[in-house]
A = this chain, B = another copy of it.
């Protein structure tokens, strides 16, 4: 924990001026909340990162345009169940209808309404049910922590837990708050972006600096996780800043910007880790830390290659100290290195053992290795002995339930 930061209760509604709601709209799921609203009483600067997938969902196209061109934004409407991806013009029309409906009811321009969708790809949206859902959302919105929690629950798909966080920090001498929520469990392999993630803050910051901070924050957070190697069509991270903290607007690099980035990095890493640990079918969080690599980028590539490997993930599920699979994954990552220099360790339950060094397997207790690999958070720790750069990536194990969930996800 950075010393300027304090984790506080709540999520997206924690900062001043942010309200939220989660309601049952019956978009596709039955008997659960499936639509969420985030609303700021004051106009917000917005920044975002989006999927690098060539096939972009309609709400991604909608939000990208607003982030680039809208003078301000004030609301986000999100649904789960249907992703509104591969839906052509009809999909874009659905976004516009949602934004018009929410804008009218909230008394703000339709260009101030961001849209998010997650769920099945290739299915058209039921616009009438979305509009009815928006009416309910606007009626229910509140600035309470409970309202934020309902929103965080409504955006879940195969997630088993909701994911939110709020932190308090000081910026330019003023108390500021940042809240966030996200969802993500399958089709998780973000690339310059994440699954659906929403961050609210009352910090006053220019659009340019906000985008700079967001683009930097995703590199070592959401871009360092993977559940299944599939980069979604809908990945979206949006950060809304309404300025109500009344700090002197952050317009350039410096101490204030650093304070803001520290909070944003903390929040995005927290959520990314949480998303990886709740990967579809996961029984544990599978972390890989690469230290003493020659370059930062190579450290990232090596760490990510290990947590992406199906065989490594299956070994973690089986609590099997089959360490050759981790070396194999380092080896095909694309990074050049000398295998004879690599030290490989396992960490779990606060213990640590070395299993490989000097180019050959080391003597270690299989029993101890199995115990350690049965921890709820398992780390493969790799010392490259090639420099001083490090990176950490997060994934999860590959279980029967991953297959089960994805063999009949639509039904």
A residues near B (Cβ < 8 Å) are: 51-56, 83, 85-91, 120-124, 186-187, 189, 191, 228-233, 308-311, 314-315, 317-318, 320, 322-325, 327-333, 335-337, 339-340, 355-356, 358-361, 398-400, 402-404, 406-411
Contact = CB atoms under 8 A, between A and B. Distances in A.
A51 to B, nearest CB: 8
Nearest to A411: B320
Contacts of A318: 406-409
Contact of A403 (B233, B327, B402): B402
Contacts of A88: 340, 358-360
Contact of A361 (B122, B229, B333, B337): B122
B310 A228 contact: yes
Grouping DSSP codes into helix (H, G, I), strand (E, B) and loop, the A interface class, with mixed when no group exceeds half, is: loop
Contact of A407 (B122, B320, B340): B320
Contacts of A232: 328
Contacts of A83: 324
Contacts of A411: 320
Contacts of A120: 322, 324
12 contacts: A55-B332, A86-B359, A87-B359, A121-B324, A187-B328, A191-B332, A229-B310, A230-B310, A318-B408, A400-B400, A400-B404, A403-B403
A308 to B, nearest CB: 8
A51 B123 CA distance: 41
A326 B409 CA distance: 14
Contact of A55 (B52, B87, B327): B327
A404 B317 CA distance: 10
A89 B327 contact: no
A87 B339 contact: no
User: Looking at A122, A325, A333, A336, which has the most chain B CB atoms within 10 Å of its CB?
Assistant: A122
A339 B54 contact: yes
B399 A53 contact: no
A340 B54 CA distance: 11
B403 A322 contact: no
